[in-house]
Structures are given as structure tokens and as C-alpha cells.
Structure 1
Amino acid sequence: MGGVFDILLFSLWFLKSAFLSLIIFYICAINTRLRPYFIVISLIVSQVVYFYQFNLMYPCFLFGVALHGLWGRIKKRAVALTALSGICFVFMLIPWNVDFWIIPSGGVYPLSSVKQFTAYAGMFYYRLVIGLTGSLFFIMLCESICSRLHDNKIIDSLSSIGRETLGIYLIQTIIIEILLWRWFKYDGSNTMIFGFVIAPIASVIVLALCLIGIRILRMSKYSALLFLGEKR
């Protein structure tokens, strides 16, 4: 049962972090007059909340809220924003390397020295900014393309799959993070073959299995509610 407990506690961290972000934002947004101040305070406090990567996820959540709220004005400037965010994203990729993902020995907090903390904080916020910039680029790029392709069957199919992100996230966690990594090892494979052959094929297969799993979950109103949040 220890393994089951670990899975329940540590898996699906993204979903738990998103839920916590929603709760905190909802509390901050209750008072309309003080909402901006509460949000700024919550953003500052979030930077010392480390479980489920909340310090990374909460700024991203607020970015999504702002994007949603301003979408009517933003999508009118999709092409310009695509170009601007794309240029920034490419330039930020130039100094990017694997060190941005390495956690210092002894854990992130507390770090052993001010110098180590400063270096890690710089990499942490660089990672946050490049993530938001890249997200904005691809969102605006999709908007720029899709707004010009009305009634396109391929676009419509991709959009329908995109609406299933919750079910896909849940099921792929089971398939990839719990099952496949125990059965299949590609550590010794060629990087190019893995990146351009094995990973794309595996991704398509996993996606297809997820979509089948979502259909199965929808066969019962109880499983649809429990796993997909859908009420009938």
C-alpha cells in the first residue's frame, strides 16, 4: 500500500497545484475593490510555497487568467503578438541549457549560500519567463492560423482533442508515469532516433489510448463526474 499512497500523494501534482491556484485566486477576487492588492500579495507569498511546484504554477495560473480576461482585445493583435513573443522566445532559447533544470545538492530550500540561492533564483525565474513567453507565442500562433481556417476538419478535430486535456492528463499519468516507465527503457537509444521516431510514435499511441479511456469513463455518469468533472 505504500506505493499506492505515494502515487495518490505525489502523482497528478499539476492538477492539485491548479486546484490550489483556483482556490487562492477565488479568495483574492471576492473583494472587487481590493482584488489587485490581494492578488499581488498572494503572488509574492506563493514564491515561498514549494509543494506541487506552486511557486512556479501560481504565476502561470494568473497569466492564464489575465489572458482570458483580455482575450477579446488580444486576439485582434494576434499576428503582432506572435511575432513579438516569437522573437523574444528565440532569443531566450540561446543561453538555455540543461542546468536550468538541475536542483542544487541538498535541495532547493534552504540553499547552502547566498551565492547559490541567487544563482538558482535567476535560473528559476528565467525558466518561468521563457515558459510564459513560449506559451504566449504558441497560443498566438494557433490563433493567427486557426482564425484564417474556418470549417477546417483537421483544425476542428485537433480542437476537439484539445478540449479533453483533463482526461488526457489523468490517463497518461497512469499509462506513462505508473506503467510504461517500469516496462520500457530507452536510456541507451540514439537521441535522434528517440526524439524523432520513438517519442512521436509512442505519443500518438498514448494519446489514442487516452481518448479511448475518456470514452469509457463517459459510459457511466459516476465515472464521468469523478474523473472528468462532467455532470449529466
Structure 2
Amino acid sequence: MRIGVVTFPGSLDDGDARRAVRLSGADDIALWHNDPDLHQVDAVILPGGFSYGDYLRAGAIARFAPVMESIVDAAGGGMPVLGICNGFQVLCEAHLLPGALVRNAHLHFRNRDQMLRVQSTTTAWTMNFTEGQEILIPVKNGEGRYVADEAVLDELESSDRVVARYVGGNPNGSSRDIAAIRNEAGNVVGIMPHPEHAVEALTGPSTDGMTFFASVLAHLGGKVGAEA
């Protein structure tokens, strides 16, 4: 399987995401923001960082990158896409996910190991989790507070589109403790914490993050099997 990781000017965690992809057993493919060619990847990760310096607002310029035009089209066709932290912000700006990520309610940057509860396993990126499973994943953000109007929040809740919630404290004031959401089809997921930083016992607080990558490989493998 070939999983592409996009590098924007200002990306910080693209190398970590590519390493996580390799550790999962997939081929990591570098995708460049200014190149619309997705190089025949099977899935895409938008990594954390400060794309284009977070000018205007986080993710606002990245949504217009040539590579994003291709990703939006591919996501519409069912390709799995995972946006991590800044990548989540880009997905919202590109209207692949509803709502927005804004400045943390307490106006401080937060960097800590964070417990999450997996709410939805009906996504390409979480199918190997158990619903209700609690996992430990690092979080680091200054504009990580997920917000949406009440109608959107109610729709996310009723349609099983809240993928994960913060437990043991909300680090940024996100509405309804939301840490991750998905699109209606379940192939696009945005998550504020960093699963790519929790894939090795040596360097992470856990290896819980690896299940995100294992899930998408299982999803892609299942698609190939179905097509065969």
C-alpha cells in the first residue's frame, strides 16, 4: 500500500507521519504542496505544523495548494484522508469536514499526553479500534478548539461522526470535548491529537497511535479483496 504524506511550507510533522507509515508496513510517498500529482497513492495524510506560517488563519492558505485540489477530488471518490492537527484545520478550510478549529479557549499553547475515547469505528482510520476504547495520544496545539454551530454538532452526534473525544480534561475547550470527526462516508477523518507520535514504545507515551495506520491498511486491504 502507498500512503502519501503532504509537505506544505511550514509542515513540522511530515517526517514523523512518514515514519509511522513505514512502521505500519506501508510505503511512504512524499507529496509536495505545489504538485497536483498524487503519484498513485492509496491514502493521504495531511500532517501537523504551521502550513504557510498560519497566515490569515491556520489552514486557510493551504486549502488552495495545487495538491489539495487533487486530494479533494480523490476524497470525493472514496480515498482515505487523515488530517492531523494542522491537517485537520486544512480539511475544515477545504470543506471536507464541517466546523472550524480556532484559538484555544484559555489562549495558551498546550503540549501534553492526552487520553481520548474512541467514539466511532466506522471510519477507514479507526476500524481496528473498539468503540469506547480509551487511548493515550500526545496533543500539541494553540488553535485546536473545535467549534461548530449547535445544528452541526447535533448532526455529528446523531450520525456517528464524532470519532474521538477528550477524556480526563479538555486541553483546548473544544465543543462537546470533540477531538476528532469524520465525513459522512467515513473515509476522511480530522484529529487534533498526534497519533504519529504514539507509534513506538521508545519515544511515545503509548503505541496506541499505530492503530490508526493499521486500520487504514486493513480498510484498503479489504477493498482490494472485495474488488478481486
Q: Which structure ranks higher in relative contact order (CA pairs < 8 Å, sequence separation ≥ 6)?
A: 2
- The structure that is helix-richer by fraction is 1
- The structure that is strand-richer by fraction is 2
User: How does the TM-score come out when normalised to structure 1?
Assistant: 0.26
User: How does the TM-score come out when normalised to structure 2?
Assistant: 0.26
